[in-house]
A and B are shown apart, each in its own frame.
Chain A
């Protein structure tokens, strides 16, 4: 029986998009957490970290409540894009984001905090705006750790199972990611398919983790 490679490509696509979104949102959150003093700061940090410790069913339930067809967000999405968000590959991105974002925020905050304050102070006395300071000084100085964090977030996005199943479902050829496909294959006794996908996923994950290790500052 020929192996259907669609789930692998879908998973990679989901992971790429989820990592990109996590970078855009997560770097901003991490920078705020590292550099600004505001109320509820540690609460925000805890809230971002929460998905790492909650069971996938709890997260999936929250997501269905938040982005389901009956929710305000779900309705808004449907009016704008003409189709529901849940049970599409985009919902799988949201599911993956729940795990990639906390990983990224945690590591990026630590990376930003480890940049010597005197560089930022020097840039400020030289008249640099906060924007230029971020792009030209802080981010370049933290870039190795941030690449490593992004690689980790990518690898984690690749492997989500529970939440994806709950919000994106298991529609072969549309929302079936590699983790779900492996579950399916095992359930239906398709051992060759299961084994092949398992080995490929392990190899990809291994590759990414090695990359992350090489990128992190020694």
Chain B
């Protein structure tokens, strides 16, 4: 279990804008994902936990070990922190074979045990065949597995991963997710993973921390966060939300309903706790939650009419962009049946509506 409270300020300089990191979080067993845009301080958090960067203030506690404490001046060097680190470029030593890379990491163990442990790890990560080759002579997948094996061979209390799947093609990416799921099951090492890929958060993350400009803006399970982003900024970071300005017309906590005015249309929604009648809010609904169909007759309840302005091909279907800035995702076959249609009906399922 990792508990961290970090504060670090980089003053503004002529050649760089200032930046300040100020956050507090916990990471229990399983995978905790640090998600955020570039420059949000994700890697800085990893570096502070690993001991490469000294925070100005705060406290880092890993299980029972105090790694850093601003008030008492404790700042353990990386060697003493027991944190495995998988770098973006893997950082396998190029002058050593894969076996030597693992042996280097295991060097503090007694000789006999070291040998056994290296062989075990080579076996577990399917590297026995390639053990005698150097990093540049093996495949990307083998390099990746070797870097994870090397980090795990010292039995770290925490595994830090810095955008490990970045720049990998789809099959390698899938393989990496598989390896990491295996690690989670076999080694029980808590993992702190930095990424700016939302798919990765869902593939791997039990817990997700959203970073923006050095601060945590929301935390929770990925599903929960996608279901109810804390604010418009988070929704923008997660991408692919319809964000539509509207006004709350009625609220009924007893029946869990509300009425929302969106342009000329009135929609039914769930009760929005903490909101008042007359509030101007932003409606937030994901494109795949909208139900669209060719216009036949007048709009029914919770339906609006809109004309199609653009269609975009997506791997899993079609994205339709309507006038007024609403986007909806529908399966390819459904689109093909009604493709010549100009005017569409868009239904907003009442329970899918969220306001920010």
Contacts and interface: CB of A to CB of B under 8 A. Distances in A.
A121 interface: yes
Contacts of B108: 127
B50 A125 contact: yes
A119 B93 contact: yes
Interface stretch (B77-85, B256-264, B346-354): B77-85
Interface string B102-135: 0011011000000000000000000000000000
A173 interface: no
Contact of A126 (B51, B94, B105): B105
Interface residues of A, number: 17
B79 A128 contact: yes
B225 to A, nearest CB: 30
User: In terms of DSSP, what is the predominant structure of the interface of chain A?
Assistant: helix
B150 interface: yes
Interface stretch (A13-21, A37-45, A136-144): A136-144
Contact of B91 (A119, A127, A128, A136): A119
Contact of A125 (B85, B93, B107): B85
Interface string A82-116: 00000000000000000000000000000000001
B89 interface: yes
A214 interface: no
A140 B83 contact: no
B13 interface: no
Contacts of B88: 118
Interface string B152-188: 0010000000000000000000000000000000000
17 contacts: A116-B89, A116-B91, A118-B87, A118-B89, A119-B93, A121-B52, A121-B78, A121-B91, A124-B51, A124-B79, A125-B78, A125-B81, A125-B84, A126-B105, A127-B79, A128-B79, A141-B93
Interface of A: 116, 118-119, 121-129, 132, 136-137, 140-141
